[in-house]
Amino acid sequence: MSLARIKHIVLVLSGKGGVGKSSITTQLALSLSLSGHSVGVLDVDLTGPSMPRMFNIEDAKVTQAPGGWLPVPVHVANPEKGVGELRCMSLGFLLRGRGDAVVWRGPKKTAMIRQFLSDVLWGEMDYLLIDTPPGTSDEHISLAETLLKEAKPGQLAGAVIVTTPQAVATADVKKELNFCVKTRIPVIGVIENMAGFVCPNCAECTDIFGKGGGQVMAKDFDVPFLGRIPIDPQFVMLIETGRRPEYPQGTVINGEDFSKALQKGSGSSTGEVTKEASLLAEKYRGCSLEPIFREITQDIVTAVE
Ligand code: ADP
């Protein structure tokens, strides 16, 4: 199997769409790579593959090599800066028109997922993050079955479950936790996304929907709580336009002053709008969400290594 030389495989699950699963996968990947790990992202969300857009590599073409597909580079390793390489494979690359939704019957989806798991030439790599479709569908079951059958002992590190303060109140996320129990996939932890709002105008982070729901739920299910991620419009701008995050004077999140974040970047001019994929990780260093993910990533690395 092409997964043979991957050290840790992590699934990213969510009970429903739109809670930010793909954004979380993207940031986990950037964060792991910024802490020196080599990372691959496999996007098996067949109905709405969004990873090519997240990494700004939508125009990339997947090349076929003897024995399988070559993943698309997001950035290469930079050992001097302690950055590991980041690559991605998504069904989005194989669709003719981006934005095409795939309407396939179960068996074809299952076959595609199997092929994705077996035919991508990842080579040696520290982490493979698998971005799954929302819910617990046939695809999840076939993914879990294939991984549990093919993975070496300990290679399938487990699942990160993404929820929002509102979704915590629904049964969806509990279904994900139950799915993990039934399939015997370890739960690495729960991330509560869109918890609070980083205001672009007034240097405040406001808890719009209240806080703590994800934490309580994680406690109820006896699984680790990995952290809360606020809504940060600067993150959306970074993904959509490539603009380096900027914050008003006095924006302090988790004790860190983000109005100074620009100085941490590579010194490019303020307000620039570029679409250079190679700089995504570098620009992300100036995003208010980066230190939160740095901590989450450290916890994940400690839990699985
Ligand atoms: P899913 O993969 O669960 O469908 P996405 O990751 O595509 O969700 O997120 C849905 C939308 O919400 C996207 O436009 C994304 O940019 C935005 N989003 C998600 N999380 C955040 C966040 N913490 N701050 C700002 N925008 C976010």
Helix, strand, or coil (residue 44) = coil
75 lines ligand 1 (CB under 6 A): no
d(CA 237, CA 233): 6
**CA dihedral sign, ordered 147, 10, 95, 136:** positive
191 domain residue, yes or no: yes
Give 63 Cα–ligand 1 centroid separation in angstroms.
Answer: 29
pLDDT at 112 over 90: no
Q: Is residue 160 part of a domain?
A: yes
SS3 content of the chain, % helix, strand, coil (to 5): 35, 25, 40
Residue 295 covered by a domain: no
- How much is the pLDDT for 13? 94
DSSP per-residue string spanning 73-136: EEE--BGGGTB--EEEEEGGGTSSSTTPPP---HHHHHHHHHHHHHHB---SEEEEEEEPPSSS
Let me know if residue 276 belongs to a domain. Answer: no
CATH at residue 155 = 3.40.50.300
Per the structure, the complete domain to which residue 227 belongs is given by 6-195+211-235
Ligand 1 nearest atom to the CA of residue 25, by list position: 6
Nearest CA to ligand 1 atom 18: 20
| pLDDT per position as a tens digit, 116-139 | 888 999 999 999 999 998 888 878
Rounded to 5 degrees, φ, ψ at 200 are: -75, -10
Choose one of 23, 241, 292 to mutate for the ligand 1 pocket test, by most ligand atoms within 8 angstroms of C-beta: 23
Please give the model's pTM, rounded to 2 decimal places.
0.90
User: What is the whole-number distance in angstroms between the Cα of residue 20 and the centre of ligand 1?
Assistant: 4
% the chain with pLDDT above 90: 47
Pairing assessment for the beta strands 63-65 and 156-163 based on DSSP bridges = unpaired
Q: Distance between alpha carbon 93 and the CA centroid of its chain, in Å?
A: 18
CA of residue 276 to ligand 1 center, whole Å? 21
